[in-house]
């Protein structure tokens, strides 16, 4: 069946999809997570000091930019939540108390 003059078929009206890969999230700058206040059950407990909401799975580094671990849980009040961080090396967990952490 031929389309009427001056009209396009449906599949011709749609714009072509872009073949560029889109990022899921824009690149983020490093953000301060907070200072490790204590340890509990093999996790470092930190009071969140960042501007944005904390995301589970975000990698965390210390002041020397060496990997410290990952955020595994967010809990506490909405205004000032706590973050549980799984340390990269459990043997260094007691020495992490008082360390400033940053999210990548």
The architecture in CATH of the region 27-103 reads Beta Barrel (2.40)
Domain residue ranges in the chain:
27-103
Q: What is the pLDDT of residues 7-34, one digit of tens each?
A: 666 655 555 555 566 556 566 678 899 9
Q: Where are the beta strands (DSSP E) in 3-91?
A: 31-40, 43-47, 59-61, 67-75, 82-87
Q: What is the pLDDT of residues 90-99, one digit of tens each?
A: 888 899 999 9
Query: Contact at 8 Å (CB) between 41 and 32?
Result: no
Q: What is the pLDDT of residues 32-78, one digit of tens each?
A: 999 999 999 999 999 999 888 888 999 999 999 999 999 999 999 98
Instruction: Kindly tell me the sign of the dihedral angle through the C-alpha atoms of 88, 91, 92, 96.
Output: positive
């Amino acid at each position: 069946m031929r389309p009427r003059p001056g009209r396009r078929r449906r599949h011709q009206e749609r714009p072509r999809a872009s073949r560029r890969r889109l990022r899921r999230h824009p690149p983020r700058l490093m953000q301060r997570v907070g200072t490790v206040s204590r340890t509990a059950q093999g996790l470092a407990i930190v009071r969140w000091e960042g501007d944005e909401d904390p995301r589970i799975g975000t990698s965390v580094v210390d002041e020397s930019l060496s990997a410290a671990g990952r955020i595994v849980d967010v809990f506490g009040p909405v205004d000032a939540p706590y973050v549980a961080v799984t340390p990269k090396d459990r043997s260094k967990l007691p020495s992490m108390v008082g360390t400033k952490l940053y999210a990548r």
